Amino acid sequence: MRKKLNKLIFVEEYVYINGIEQFLFHNGTSYDNPVMLYLHGGPGSAESLFTEGFQGKWEDLYTVIHWDQRGAGKTLIKNPHKYPTIDLVLKDLYDIVQYLKKKYNKDKIVLLGHSWGSVLGSTFIKKYPEEVSYYIGVGQVVSMLDNERVGYEKVKELILQKKDIRSQKKLDAIGEYPDEKYSEEWLKKCLKLRKLQEKYKLAASMDLSISLIAFKSPIFKFSDILALMKAFKSNEKLVEFLVNFNLKLQSNEYKIPVFYIMGGNDWQTPYSEAEEYFNKIKAPVKKYYLIPNAGHMTMLDQPDLFFEALKEIAEKQKAAKSI
């Protein structure tokens, strides 16, 4: 265990969940605060290494727990051949929620899902609404295929505006996109499109500044790099689930409060798609936040504006609970 950074709550631990040891990273300033479980993206892209880049102020509002999911990060290194399916990871999540409720003596927890985590989170709250006090979707995925169509058209528009012949040739080489069914070829096309989107700052990229946040993390180990390199192989079944995911085909009724925080420059999970769907959902309480000049890594791109949205949510939900 490394130095606790003078925090009341600073815990790295492996917990035996659903047949394997899974990594949890806890940070907080008060045991009285609500417990927030952060569901990372990918699938396979653990975000526990990036907490120092955005989470400091959050810990005045919540005890924040990062979970390296089955097939990701430190959990993958500990269990290199235990690959996830959607049923396994949902059971993992349910068991972790029970563990956190008991550990912190809470009736419910707050769930925040980022990107792929928003798919997992949305699926979980539909199935187990009684376990969650409210849900926050960031880089919310509504329909993966629709997201890819919109993102493709946006980068195409910018390439034409810039008369970028080299990028145009790369886009043309991708051909028809996206295909309706997941395949190895689908994934290859997606990765090629991401490179073009990264060039035009339409999608998240591991640039030097973001990489430095990870390298400076108090929990960083070089094995974390190995886990990231293995992410695609270990999460193939979840990627297939993600490609076929479409909230529009499900009921738009939610039994708990729902909040979306989206980046105004996010074309990886386009904010326009999330907003259109959000306007149609029915929930006890809901609010949509659009953060200007923020991309897919919304909380890292504009940490202060993101915190203001999070603070408003936390304070209003606390007030509502006390009535």
Q: What is the CATH number of the domain that holds 120?
A: 3.40.50.1820
| Residue 216: inside a domain | no
What does the pLDDT read at residue 6?
73
pLDDT tens for residues 165-187? 999 999 999 999 998 888 889 98
Average pLDDT of 258-274?
Answer: 96
- Is the domain of 20 the same as that of 69? yes
Higher pLDDT, 5 or 83: 83
Residue 44 — very low, low, confident or very high, per pLDDT cuts 50/70/90?
A: very high
Task: Domain of residue 169: give its range.
Answer: 148-199
The pLDDT mean for the chain works out to 94
pTM above 0.75, yes or no: yes
What does the pLDDT read at residue 152?
95
Alpha carbon dihedral 77, 80, 86, 92, in 10-degree steps, equals: -60
- Is the domain of 32 the same as that of 57? yes
Write out the two tokens for 152: 């493709």
Q: Is the predicted pLDDT of residue 247 greater than 70, yes or no? A: yes
- Is the domain of 49 the same as that of 111? yes
Rounded CA gap, 228 and 71, in Å? 10
- Is the domain of 167 the same as that of 233? no
What does the pLDDT read at residue 3?
45
- Is the domain of 72 the same as that of 176? no
- On the 0-12 / 13-18 / 19+ scale of CB atoms within 10 A, 222 is exposed
Residue 204 — very low, low, confident or very high, per pLDDT cuts 50/70/90?
A: confident
- Is the domain of 122 the same as that of 262? yes
Cα→Cα distances 169→30, 284, 302, Å:
55, 49, 33
193 contacts: CB under 8 Å, gap ≥ 6:
148, 151, 152, 155, 171, 174, 177
pLDDT tens for residues 114-135? 999 999 999 999 999 999 999 9
| Buried residues in 170-204 as b, exposed as e (16+ CB within 10 A) | ebeeeeeebeeebeeebeebbeebbebbbbbebbb
- Provide DSSP, 207-273: -HHHHHHHHT-TT--THHHHHHHTHHHHTHHHHHHHHT-BGGGS--B-SS-EEEEEETT-TTTTHHH
- Is the domain of 188 the same as that of 257? no
Q: Is the dihedral of CA 271, 197, 124, 136 positive or negative?
A: negative
pLDDT tens for residues 90-106? 999 999 999 999 999 99
- Is the domain of 21 the same as that of 100? yes
| Residue 281: inside a domain | yes
- Is the domain of 272 the same as that of 138? yes
| Residue 217: inside a domain | no
Rounded CA gap, 314 and 257, in Å? 12
Residue 297 — very low, low, confident or very high, per pLDDT cuts 50/70/90?
A: very high
- Is the domain of 132 the same as that of 191? no
- Is the domain of 175 the same as that of 289? no
What does the pLDDT read at residue 323?
67
Give the count of domains, the chain.
2
- Is the domain of 314 the same as that of 269? yes
